[in-house]
Amino acid sequence: MPPSTLPHSILPSGLGMTLFLFSWIMFIHIVHSLSLSSSSIMKQQEQQEQQEHVIPQEVSQIRFSLHEKKSSTPFLPILLMHGVTADNGSMSTLENFIRQVAPPGTFITSVNSENTVQSLLKPMTEQIADFANKVNELKQRIGFSEFHLICHSQGGLLCRSYIQLTKNHGVKVFISLSGVQNGEFGIPQPTNSVLELLHQEFPWLWNMTKEEVYRVFYTDFFQKTLSVANYWKDPYHYLEYRLYNQFLTIVNNDSLTTDYARLYNFRENVLQIDKMILTGSPQDEVIHPYFSAFFGFYKLDINTMQLQISPMQEQDVYVRDVFGLKTLDMQKRLIIESVPNVLHMQWVERRDLFEKYILPYLY
The answer as to whether 155 is a domain residue is yes
Say what the pLDDT of residue 24 is: 52
Q: Do 331 and 274 contact (CB within 8 A), yes or no?
A: no
Helix or strand or coil: residue 277?
strand
Say what the pLDDT of residue 201 is: 57
How many angstroms separate the Cα of 11 from the Cα of each of 7, 217, 220? 7, 10, 11
Say what the pLDDT of residue 133 is: 97
The answer as to whether 188 is a domain residue is yes
The parent domain of residue 178 ranges over 71-76+92-280+294-361
Say what the pLDDT of residue 190 is: 59
Say what the pLDDT of residue 290 is: 98
The answer as to whether 222 is a domain residue is yes
| Number of folded domains that form the chain | 1
The answer as to whether 183 is a domain residue is yes
Say how far apart CA 341 and CA 280 lie, in whole Å.
10
pLDDT tens digit sequence for 121-153 = 899 999 999 999 999 999 999 999 999 999 999
Closest CA to 231 of 267, 181, 187: 181
Say what the pLDDT of residue 2 is: 39
The answer as to whether 286 is a domain residue is no
How many angstroms separate the Cα of 172 from the Cα of each of 65, 102, 158? 11, 17, 16
The answer as to whether 163 is a domain residue is yes
Say how far apart CA 54 and CA 320 lie, in whole Å.
43
Say what the pLDDT of residue 198 is: 65
* Those residues with Cβ within 8 angstroms of residue 190's Cβ, 6 or more apart along the chain or in another chain: 196, 198, 199
Output the DSSP codes for 67-110: TT--TTSPPPPEEEE--TT--GGGGHHHHHHHHHHSPTT--EEE
Say what the pLDDT of residue 39 is: 45
The answer as to whether 18 is a domain residue is no
Say what the pLDDT of residue 236 is: 97
User: Would the pTM count as exceeding 0.85?
Assistant: no
Say what the pLDDT of residue 87 is: 87
For residue 326, the domain's CATH number is: 3.40.50.1820
Say how far apart CA 110 and CA 90 lie, in whole Å.
9
Say how far apart CA 206 and CA 208 lie, in whole Å.
5
Q: What is the DSSP letter of 284?
A: -
Closest CA to 266 of 328, 310, 314, 224: 328
Which parts of the chain register pLDDT below 70? 1-71, 189-202, 204-206
The answer as to whether 298 is a domain residue is yes
Say what the pLDDT of residue 196 is: 67
Say what the pLDDT of residue 191 is: 60
